[in-house]
Structure 1
Amino acid sequence: MTRTPFAVTRSTLFVPATRPDLVEKVGRSGADVVVLDLEDTVPPPAKAGARSALPALIDLLTSLATGTRMVRVNAPDSPWIGADLDALAAGALAGLDGLVVPKVDGPGSLDQLTKLADRAGLPELPILAGIESAQGVSQVEAIAPRVAAVYFGAEDFAADMRGRRTSHNTEVLYARSRVALAARVAEIPALDQVFFDVGDEAGFRREAGAARDLGYSGKMCLNPRQVRWSNEMWTPTPAETDWAVRAIAAYDEVTTRGEGVAFVDGRLIDLPVIRLARAVLAAAPRVTTEEQGA
């Protein structure tokens, strides 16, 4: 499996491969990553038809000049994964940037996927691995160095723990934090859990803000409205960018004089703060021309 980095991961939007009527809308949504789904949103009787539709749907997304284009296959231990990979090898690869692999429980899941991909004659592709179980979280430090990105699936994790899912997310805080930490150590993006109430903008933004605070680089989305909210949450505001520029300038000035700290707006600026400021500026160019004019 290759580890080609994703360009931008503020928003990852899923669309069932059984819904060609939605694909053009999704392709024009502004999502940084678009995923054609063969897994949870496609019932078993419809999976064969969804696989057959992939080449045309990927061609459509390519024509729309979307960002990163991926397919979510079924889990490595599912009865459908072999047919998914065979379908991709048979002609659905053109325009595809990688695979989303759900329910990765450890290195063994990746080994199984590699064997099946080799058998199907698939070339190596970047993998976005789903960490969605107690076993997956416990093994995430061994998973992250082998993939291009990870996502945390809170609903499946809570169900596996036999816990109770709540809106305050306390029950998944440890796992959510551990996935983000493992991704940072491996220097790959981590994508945050799905927010299921698609009409609750304030709730989405609260959860996305907490995810950004934890170090996540974007969020998985269920519809185009969430894409806009997620893109905004992971794009530095003008005030954040202005502060970062002033902080770096002040720090450069004091270090030139042989000093170690500066103050901006009453806040002490030292090297750790400068690292944060540089991260803000690195994220700022992600804003597209269309978003600037919106």
Structure 2
Amino acid sequence: MRQFTRLRSLLFAPAVRPDFVAKLADRGADAVVIDCEDATPANAKAEGRANAAALAGDVAANGTQVTVRVNAEPTKWFADDVRDALTGALTAVVVPKIETMAGLDRVASALDEAGHGQLGVIAGIETALGVADARVLLAHTRVVAGYFGAEDFIADMAGVRTPGNAEVHYARSAVALAGRLAGVPVLDQIVADFRDDVRFRHEAAEARSMGYVGKLCIHPGQVPLANDAFVPSADEVDRARRLLEAYDTASAGGVAAIDFEGQMVDEPLATQARRIIALADRP
């Protein structure tokens, strides 16, 4: 199966807006989604599928990682989406509202039968059952990445969305943990108010601290914010390099813990510093 090179930003565009889709390759996102699900109304599903199939190759031509989001497996549109909307130009297929291993098995079988055995799944974890079983679901052999969908999750919970995100803190953390245990990258929830850069930056910083590798973007203006948020700052990298230099010197002399700028540093903190440097050194 194909794997993603980087997933700091995953930008969505409605499949029924070919003008938006045509511009995806120029937006700077690590990967893009031609959306046949929520952004495509029920009376335009066939149009969305046709656009996705026709335009994906053009978007991917310059090296952009392209995906298509199909409708959820239990819906009446899923089979037609798999048959008509997917092409060989895709890096993966985005499948929303994943809840059971049996459902994922049916997704895998449908992809194989349609001749898309090379396509992995970005699994949408966005319902109560999906969050509860996220560790198992994200470990499915067909899953290459996942995302947490806060809006659908709260709708399923009959809850209320708030700016502080307290109502999704547990679920958001659970999906990040599940991704880590499954060994797949996971992306954080959308920020619906695409004009609120302050909130986006705040959420992205939270998400990185929780272990998310990137964020879902619903507007091109959110892409550079996500790309910046999920790489270490110059100050972080500088401190990590100095910390490791001091720690490695001490370790070579048989000392396992040191005082570094007023902080006790041992192997766990050294591991964190190594990860910061490795992330910063990625092309």
CA contact 2:96–2:124 (8 Å) conserved in 1: yes
**Secondary structure of the corresponding residue to residue 69 of structure 1:** strand
Aligned runs of 1:24-63 on 2, under 5 Å?
A: 24-63=22-61
**Secondary structure of the corresponding residue to residue 199 of structure 1:** coil
Aligned partner of 1:203 among 199, 202, 205: 199
1:9 Cα offset (Å): 1.0
Cα distance per residue 1:24-55 (max 9 Å; x no partner): 33211110111111100001111111111223
C-alpha distance in 2 between matches for 1:112 and 1:15: 26
Runs of at least 5 residues in structure 1 that lack an aligned partner in the other structure: 288-294
CA contact 1:153–1:193 (8 Å) conserved in 2: yes
CA contact 1:5–1:188 (8 Å) conserved in 2: no
Which residue identity is paired with 1:168? G
- Whether 1:281 aligns to 2:277 is yes
1:178 — aligned with what?
174
C-alpha distance in 1 between matches for 2:50 and 2:124: 24
1:133 — aligned with what?
127
1:286 Cα offset (Å): 4.1
C-alpha distance in 2 between matches for 1:63 and 1:217: 25
C-alpha distance in 1 between matches for 2:79 and 2:95: 13
**Secondary structure of the corresponding residue to residue 148 of structure 1:** strand
2:114 — aligned with what?
120
1:290 — aligned with what?
none
- Whether 1:163 aligns to 2:163 is no
Cα distance per residue 1:100-141 (max 9 Å; x no partner): 000001212201212322332332411110001001011111
Which residue identity is paired with 1:32? D
2:225 — aligned with what?
229
TM-score by length of structure 1 reads 0.92
- Whether 1:97 aligns to 2:91 is yes
Which residue identity is paired with 1:35? V
C-alpha distance in 2 between matches for 1:16 and 1:84: 14
Which residue identity is paired with 1:166? T
Runs of at least 5 residues in structure 2 that lack an aligned partner in the other structure: none
- Whether 1:150 aligns to 2:133 is no
C-alpha distance in 2 between matches for 1:137 and 1:240: 32
CA RMSD of aligned residues (A): 1.4
| Shift in CA distance, 96/5, structure 1 to aligned 2, threshold 3 Å | closer
CA contact 1:13–1:227 (8 Å) conserved in 2: yes
Which residue identity is paired with 2:13? V
1:208 Cα offset (Å): 1.1
Which portions of structure 1, spanning 4 or more consecutive aligned residues, are displaced by more than 6 angstroms? none
CA contact 1:13–1:34 (8 Å) conserved in 2: yes
Cα distance per residue 1:132-183 (max 9 Å; x no partner): 1001011111101111111000011111111111111111111110000010
**Secondary structure of the corresponding residue to residue 6 of structure 1:** coil
Which residue identity is paired with 1:201? D
Cα distance per residue 1:210-260 (max 9 Å; x no partner): 111111111000111100101111111110111111111111101100110
1:12 — aligned with what?
10
C-alpha distance in 2 between matches for 1:216 and 1:122: 28
CA contact 1:235–1:286 (8 Å) conserved in 2: no
Q: Which is further off, 53-62 or 32-41? A: 53-62
Report how many residues are paired.
281
C-alpha distance in 1 between matches for 2:105 and 2:57: 30
2:66 — aligned with what?
69
C-alpha distance in 2 between matches for 1:55 and 1:99: 12
